[in-house]
Chains A and B, each alone.
Chain A
Amino acid sequence: MALQSLDIVRRSATTIAPPQARGAPAGEVAKLIDVSKCIGCKACQVACMEWNDLRDEIGSCLGTYTNPADLSDQSWTLMRFTEHETPQGDLEWLIRKDGCMHCADPGCLKACPSPGAIVQYANGIVDFHEENCIGCGYCITGCPFNVPRISKKDHKAYKCTLCSDRVSVGLEPACVKACPTGAIVFGSKTDMQRHAAGRVEDLKSRGFDQAGLYDPSGVGGTHVMYVLHHADQPELYADLPKDPQISALVKVWKGVSKPLALLGIAAAALAGFLHYIGMGPSLTTEEDEEAARRELEKPS
Chain B
Amino acid sequence: MSRTRQVADQVDPKTGQIVRYAPATRINHWIVAISFVLLALSGLALFYPPLFWLANLFGGGDVMRAVHPWIGLVMAVAFFAFAAKVGRDNRLQRADREWLRRIGDVVRDQEENLPEVGRNNAGQKLVYLVALVSMLVLLVSGLVIWRAYFSDYFPVDATRVAALAHAAFAFVLILTIVVHVYAGIWVKGSLRAMTRGTVSPGWAWKHHRAWFRDVTKHSTGK
Contact yes or no, A14 B49, CB < 8 A: yes
CA distance A289 to B51 in the complex (A): 46
> How many residues from B make CB contacts under 8 Å with A?
57
Interface residues of B in 32-70 (CB under 8 A from A): 44-52, 55, 60-62, 64-66
Known A13-B49, A258-B48, A295-B213; contact A288-B206, beta-carbon cutoff 8 A:
yes
Contact yes or no, A283 B212, CB < 8 A: no
Contact yes or no, A284 B203, CB < 8 A: yes
Stretch of B95-103, B114-122, B185-193 that contacts chain A? B185-193
Task: Give every chain A residue within 8 A of B145 (Cβ-Cβ).
Answer: 137, 141
Known A253-B163, A284-B200; contact A135-B216, beta-carbon cutoff 8 A:
no
Contact yes or no, A134 B187, CB < 8 A: no
Known A114-B61, A264-B171, A295-B205; contact A284-B188, beta-carbon cutoff 8 A:
yes
Contact yes or no, B186 A281, CB < 8 A: yes
CA distance A143 to B151 in the complex (A): 14
Contact yes or no, A275 B186, CB < 8 A: yes
Verify if B174 is at the interface (C-beta below 8 Å from A): yes
Contact yes or no, A282 B147, CB < 8 A: no
Contact yes or no, B48 A262, CB < 8 A: yes
Interface residues of A in 265-300 (CB under 8 A from B): 265, 268-269, 272, 275-276, 279, 281-286, 288-293, 295-297, 300
Task: Give every chain A residue within 8 A of B179 (Cβ-Cβ).
Answer: 268, 272
Q: Is the interface of B mostly helix, strand, loop or mixed?
A: helix
Contact yes or no, B212 A292, CB < 8 A: yes
Out of B47, B50, B201, name the residue touching A292 (CB < 8 Å).
Answer: B201
Contact yes or no, B188 A292, CB < 8 A: no
CA distance A269 to B185 in the complex (A): 12
User: What interface size band does chain A fall in?
Assistant: 35 or more
Known A113-B49, A138-B163, A140-B147; contact A288-B202, beta-carbon cutoff 8 A:
yes
Contact yes or no, A269 B151, CB < 8 A: no
Task: Give every chain A residue within 8 A of B182 (Cβ-Cβ).
Answer: 269, 272, 275-276
Out of B147, B160, B217, name the residue touching A300 (CB < 8 Å).
Answer: B217
Verify if A181 is at the interface (C-beta below 8 Å from B): no
Contact yes or no, A265 B156, CB < 8 A: no
Contact yes or no, B47 A113, CB < 8 A: yes
Task: Give every chain B residue within 8 A of A58 (Cβ-Cβ).
Answer: none
* Most chain B beta carbons < 10 A, residue from A150, A258, A279: A258
Contact yes or no, B206 A284, CB < 8 A: yes
Contacts A137-B151, A155-B148 known; 8 new A-B pairs at CB < 8 A: A141-B163, A265-B178, A272-B185, A275-B182, A276-B186, A279-B108, A282-B186, A289-B201
4 closest A-B pairs by CB: A137-B147, A289-B202, A288-B202, A292-B201
Pick 20 A–B contacts, CB within 8 A, sort by A. Answer: A115-B49, A136-B46, A140-B147, A141-B151, A141-B159, A155-B66, A259-B48, A272-B182, A279-B109, A282-B109, A282-B187, A289-B200, A289-B202, A289-B205, A291-B205, A292-B200, A292-B201, A292-B204, A292-B212, A293-B201
Chain B contact residues, CB within 8 Å of chain A:
44-52, 55, 60-62, 64-66, 107-109, 145, 147-148, 151, 156-157, 159-161, 163-164, 167-168, 171, 174-175, 178-179, 182, 185-189, 200-207, 212-213, 216-217, 221-222
Chain A contact residues, CB within 8 Å of chain B:
13-15, 113-115, 132-138, 140-141, 143, 146, 150, 155, 247, 249-250, 252-253, 257-259, 261-262, 264-265, 268-269, 272, 275-276, 279, 281-286, 288-293, 295-297, 300
